[in-house]
């Protein structure tokens, strides 16, 4: 695997690479990332990944400084799964001067759910992804459904800017007990790790109830929040939305998704389940 820390070096190396299939990451790879990289193999001639912890998408009180940085282990995993090129720029390469131009996603999609609790998060994500797309110039990019709202916003960004990139969703990978794999799971203590699958179970109850015909979605959402609160969590939202645009569903809409975010101790976990 070739490692590039400049945009110019990356672009030179990718000349003649054929159809480029791209998986952007912030590192600290787990099986969820690896699955996206495997998926990428099937969609292009050359798999390119990136590793960049993007300051722009962290709030002032969030974990930018402590976000796990595991470069050597990440490189080994990427090479083993067939990533041909890794773009891992330093901060100076990505933001040589303070980033003054941003991609501002539609507030109707970016200021709800995650965006309500992480103001500016999707602006930071969309801006860095646009810049990564410009550096890598992929034909295909794979984004995990674990970050459901991110996937929707990137898809819409690509459509609205007519970028010639196919966005492919990757399924969420779960531990045996249902917990969605996430780099932030590493923050959990042993006791919290044992408790963590409750988020998935509470959301799955909502999903099962909808499948069984329950249409009082507000009651289901509140039930899940109450269950989490009773077990010591601080739930931020459990919400049933339309898969397409994450807006509130009308009475008989199908194609729904249950989304949730909650704090367990100081660790913020998110999950979602399509119905």
Binding residues (CB under 6 A) for ligand PAF: these are 24-26, 54, 57, 125, 128-129, 147, 150
Query: How far is CA 61 from each of CA 119, 183, 262, 263, rounded to the nearest angstrom?
Result: 11, 18, 16, 14
Q: How far is the CB of 101 from ligand PAF (least distance, A)?
A: 17
Of 154, 178, 176, nearest in space to 166 by CA: 154
When the beta carbons of 38 and 201 are compared against ligand PAF, the nearer one is 38
Give the C-alpha separation, 89 to 3, whole Å: 10
When the beta carbons of 67 and 227 are compared against ligand PAF, the nearer one is 67
Residue indicated by tokens 């913020």: 268
When the beta carbons of 111 and 147 are compared against ligand PAF, the nearer one is 147
Give the C-alpha separation, 253 to 275, whole Å: 11
Q: How far is the CB of 228 from ligand PAF (least distance, A)?
A: 24
When the beta carbons of 43 and 198 are compared against ligand PAF, the nearer one is 43
- Asked about 102 being catalytic, the answer comes back as no
Q: How far is the CB of 154 from ligand PAF (least distance, A)?
A: 7
Q: From the CA atom positions of the chain, what is the Rg in Å?
A: 19
Give the C-alpha separation, 247 to 273, whole Å: 15
Residue indicated by tokens 């110039």: 137
Could you tell me where the DSSP H helices lie in 165-255?
A: 190-195, 198-211, 217-230
Query: How far is CA 91 from each of CA 5, 6, 18, 39, 118, rounded to the nearest angstrom?
Result: 10, 11, 28, 28, 22
Q: How far is the CB of 125 from ligand PAF (least distance, A)?
A: 5
Give the C-alpha separation, 254 to 242, whole Å: 8
Give the C-alpha separation, 74 to 80, whole Å: 10
Q: Identify the bridge partners of residue 112 per DSSP, sorted by sequence position.
A: none
When the beta carbons of 129 and 196 are compared against ligand PAF, the nearer one is 129
Determine which one of 4, 30, 33, 43 is catalytic: 33
Q: How far is the CB of 99 from ligand PAF (least distance, A)?
A: 13
Active site residues: 33
């Amino acid at each position: 695997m070739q490692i590039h820390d400049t945009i110019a070096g990356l672009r030179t190396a990718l000349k003649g690479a054929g159809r480029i299939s791209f998986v952007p990451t912030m590192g600290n790879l787990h099986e969820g990332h690896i699955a996206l990289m495997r998926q990428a193999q099937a969609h292009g001639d050359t798999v390119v990944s990136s590793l960049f912890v993007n300051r722009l998408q962290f709030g002032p009180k969030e974990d930018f400084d402590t976000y796990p940085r595991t470069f050597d282990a990440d490189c080994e995993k990427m090479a083993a799964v067939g990533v041909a090129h890794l773009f891992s720029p330093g901060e100076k390469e990505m933001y040589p001067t303070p980033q003054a131009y941003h991609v501002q996603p539609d507030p109707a999609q970016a200021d709800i759910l995650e965006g309500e609790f992480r103001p500016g998060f999707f602006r930071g994500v969309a801006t860095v992804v646009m810049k990564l797309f410009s550096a890598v110039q992929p034909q295909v990019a794979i984004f995990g459904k674990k970050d459901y709202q991110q996937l929707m916003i990137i898809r819409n960004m690509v459509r609205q800017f007519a970028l010639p990139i196919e966005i492919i969703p990757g399924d969420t990978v779960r531990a045996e007990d249902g917990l969605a794999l996430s780099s932030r799971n590493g923050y959990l203590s042993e006791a919290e790790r044992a408790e963590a699958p409750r988020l998935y179970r509470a959301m799955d109850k909502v999903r099962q109830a909808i499948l069984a015909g329950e249409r009082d979605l507000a009651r289901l959402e509140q039930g899940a929040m109450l269950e989490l609160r009773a077990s010591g969590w601080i739930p931020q939202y459990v919400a049933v939305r339309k898969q397409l645009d994450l807006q509130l569903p009308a009475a008989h809409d199908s194609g729904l998704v249950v989304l949730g975010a909650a704090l367990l101790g100081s660790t913020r976990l998110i999950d979602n389940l399509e119905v």
